[in-house]
Amino acid sequence: MSPVYPGSIDAAGQRATLGVLGGGQLGRMFVHAAQRLGYFTAVLEPDAQSPAGLVSHHHIQTNYDDPAGLAQLAHLCQAITTEFENVPAQALQTLAQTRPVAPSAAVVGIAQNRIEEKAHFAACAAVSGVTCAPYAVVETTAQLQAVQAGRADLLPGILKTARMGYDGKGQVRVKTTDELAAAWAELGSVACVLEKMLPLTAECSVLVARGWDGQVVSFAPQRNVHVNGILAVTHAYEGNMPAALADRARDAAVSIAQHIGYVGVLCVEFFVVEDGTEHGGLVVNEMAPRPHNSGHYTLDACDASQFDLQVHTMAGLPLPQPRQHSPAIMLNLLGDVWFDTSGHLQEPDWHSVLSLPGTHLHLYGKVEARPGRKMGHLTITGPDVASVQTVAYRVAGLLSLPGLDAI
C-alpha cells in the first residue's frame, strides 16, 4: 500500500479521494474526518437523504452490489472502506481487485457470522488469554436435538442468529430445552449460536487501529451501559474499570486484530464477569470491523478520534498513538428524545443542555426521528471525573435519557 497523501493529485489529475460503502452516521463522521485532512470523499449509498451522502463530495446513489456503482466508486477513489459490517462481502472483493480496501472482505465476513467470529476468538485465546462464553452452534434440527440432549450446561442461555443481529435484535433468552426449540422456530430456524449466560458485572469495549504495515495503536477501554440491547452510556476516563482488567482487554483486542491481519479500526466488545469464574473476569463478546458507537467520545476527548485513525489506516498514513486529554461520558440520543410522554413530537431542550459546561452535541442529519433510532450523541468532557458526572446527570435528567442510574 503506497500512502495516499491528503491534497495530492495523481498522474491522471485526480485529487486524492477516499470512499466509503454506507451512508449512515459512521460514514458521515468518517467523511468529516477525511475532509478535515484535505481529502475528497465519495459515498456509495442507495438512500438519497443519507447522513454521509449529504455531506460528501460525491454520492453514488446505487445498491451496494451494483456493478456500475462499484466501478464508479473505484474510479473516483484511491482507497475504500465500509461503515457497517453487513455490506455484501462480494462488493468489497470486487473493489479490492483494483483498489486498496480496508478492512478486507475476508475479515468483514468473519464479523458478519457469529459462528466464524466465535471460532476466531477461540483460536486467539491461546495468545490473548481471553475467550468467549461457552457456546454451541445450532444450524440444523440434528444440532438442536444434540444440544437439547447433551448441553444442559449452556442453559440458561441466549440464542443468537448467526447473521444480521445488532442492537439486541435476533436474540432470544432461553431457560429450558423447550424454550430453546421454540426460540429457534421463532427466529426462522436459521443458523444460530446458543451462548451460555454468565454472571455479568459490566460491559466494556476496546478500539484498535491497525495499519497496512502492521503498526497498531489503541484507545483505553471504555465501560458501556446498554438499555434494551442498545448502547445508552459510555464511561471513558481513568478508573472506569480495574486497571488489570483494562490491560487484559486492551491486549486481547490487539491480539484479535493481529491474528487476522486486520487493517482499519476495529472495536472488540467484552463482558466483565464475576470474579471467581474460570474466565478470569473477562470474556470477549463480539467485534465490529469499523468505528463504533462506544468510541464517539474520542471526537471531543482525544487528540485523534477513531475516525481520524480510520482515515490514517486506509490511506496508509502513520498511526499516532491517540491521547485522551479529558475524562468523558457519552450519552446516546435515540429518537425517543423527540417525543413527549404522550407520544407527540417535541423539540428537545437544547437550550438548557448546551448551557452546561463541557457539552458537545452531535446530531447525525437524519430527517425523521423515530423511537429507537440513533439520532445523535452528546459527549460531556471536563477537568475531572466528578464534574463530568455531575453534568451528565443533569443532561440525562433534562432529556429523560435511560441509563441514568449507571452514570
* pLDDT score of 274: 80
Annotated binding residue at 175? no
* pLDDT score of 16: 96
* pLDDT score of 246: 94
User: How confident is the model over 226-245, as a mean pLDDT?
Assistant: 94
* pLDDT score of 129: 83
User: How confident is the model over 157-177, as a mean pLDDT?
Assistant: 85
* pLDDT score of 186: 92
* pLDDT score of 263: 98
Annotated binding residue at 160? yes
DSSP 132: B
Annotated binding residue at 171? yes
pLDDT in tens, 331-356: 999 999 999 989 999 999 999 999 99
User: How confident is the model over 259-277, as a mean pLDDT?
Assistant: 89
Annotated binding residue at 222? no
pLDDT in tens, 356-407: 999 999 999 998 999 999 999 999 999 999 999 999 999 999 999 987 776 5
* pLDDT score of 249: 95
Annotated binding residue at 296? no
* pLDDT score of 367: 87
Annotated binding residue at 286? yes
Element (H, E) at 225: strand 222-227
Annotated binding residue at 309? no
* pLDDT score of 277: 59
**Cell numbers at residue 47, please?**
438512500
115: β partners: none
Annotated binding residue at 114? yes
40-46 CB contacts, 8 Å cutoff, 24+ apart = 40/15, 40/16, 41/17, 42/17, 42/18, 42/73, 42/76, 42/77, 43/19, 44/19, 44/20, 44/69, 44/70, 44/73, 45/21
Whether 275 has a pLDDT exceeding 80, the answer reads no
Annotated binding residue at 93? no
* pLDDT score of 10: 80
Annotated binding residue at 167? yes
Annotated binding residue at 180? no
* pLDDT score of 407: 58
Name every residue whose Cβ is closer than 8 Å to that of residue 109 and which is 6 or more positions away in sequence.
89, 116
Domains of the chain: 17-101 (3.40.50.20), 134-196 (3.30.1490.20), 200-406 (3.30.470.20)
Mean of per-residue pLDDT scores for the chain: 94
Find out whether 274 and 150 touch, Cβ atoms under 8 Å. Answer: no
Annotated binding residue at 287? no
User: How confident is the model over 297-312, as a mean pLDDT?
Assistant: 98
Annotated binding residue at 401? no
* pLDDT score of 354: 97
Whether 167 has a pLDDT exceeding 80, the answer reads no
* pLDDT score of 85: 87
Confidence of residue 13 (pLDDT cuts 50, 70, 90): confident
Annotated binding residue at 393? no
* pLDDT score of 279: 60
Confidence of residue 278 (pLDDT cuts 50, 70, 90): low
Annotated binding residue at 366? no
Whether 276 has a pLDDT exceeding 60, the answer reads no
How buried is 67 (Cβ within 10 angstroms: 0-12 exposed, 13-18 middle, 19+ buried)?
Answer: exposed
* pLDDT score of 125: 86
pLDDT in tens, 124-141: 887 888 989 999 999 999
